[in-house]
Each structure stands twice: as structure tokens, then as C-alpha cells.
Amino acid sequence: MTDAKLDDAAIETTMLRLVAERGADKTVCPSEVARALGGPHPDGWGPLMQPVRRTAVRLAHAGRIAILRKGKPVDPDDFRGIYRLSLPAAGVTS
């Protein structure tokens, strides 16, 4: 995938699918989204981590996912470190 729009669409679709499949009160690691798209080797999924983060922030603003840190929802515009993704209003990490 070389087209940026296609990449964003693929990331969004994959992220929403993985979060939905995991279900309520469960979370997804952002690297799971990147690995689903880029494969198991870090050279494939590593470069996708920033686009995954940007997509997560956008979807959190839209209320379609929640970004969690230490099991608690965070402000999508102000979080650092390790984070997880979940369905909105879920607050328990897996």
C-alpha cells in the first residue's frame, strides 16, 4: 500500500475490527494493529506505529475507540508511553 488514504483506511478498518473482536472490557495493543497490516517482522510493522497512533487519536476524538493508559481512559491529545485501545467506555485492560 503506497497511497496514504488507503493506508489510513486500512489502519482504521483493522483497528476497529480488532477492538470489536476483542470485545467489551478487553484491549488491543497498538502493535497488534501494526502487525496485522505489516506482518510479523519489525521492518514491516514498526514504521506503522506512528500512523496507528494518529488513527487512534482521530478515532478517539470521534468516540469510536478509547485510548487507555494503566487501564484508565486518557485525553487523546495528551498521553505518553504505553497505551492500549478499547471499545468506548471500557475501562479494564486485558
Boundaries of every domain in the chain: 4-86
CATH architecture of 4-86: Orthogonal Bundle (1.10)
- What torsion do the CA atoms of 20, 23, 29, 32 make, to the nearest 10 degrees? -50
* Tens digits of residue pLDDT in 60-90: 999 999 999 999 999 999 999 999 999 998 4
First to last CA, the chain: 31
pLDDT band per the 50, 70, 90 thresholds, residue 6: low
Is the pTM for the entire model greater than 0.75? yes
C-alpha cell at 8: 489510513
C-alpha cell at 4: 496514504
Q: What's the confidence (pLDDT) of residue 89? A: 82
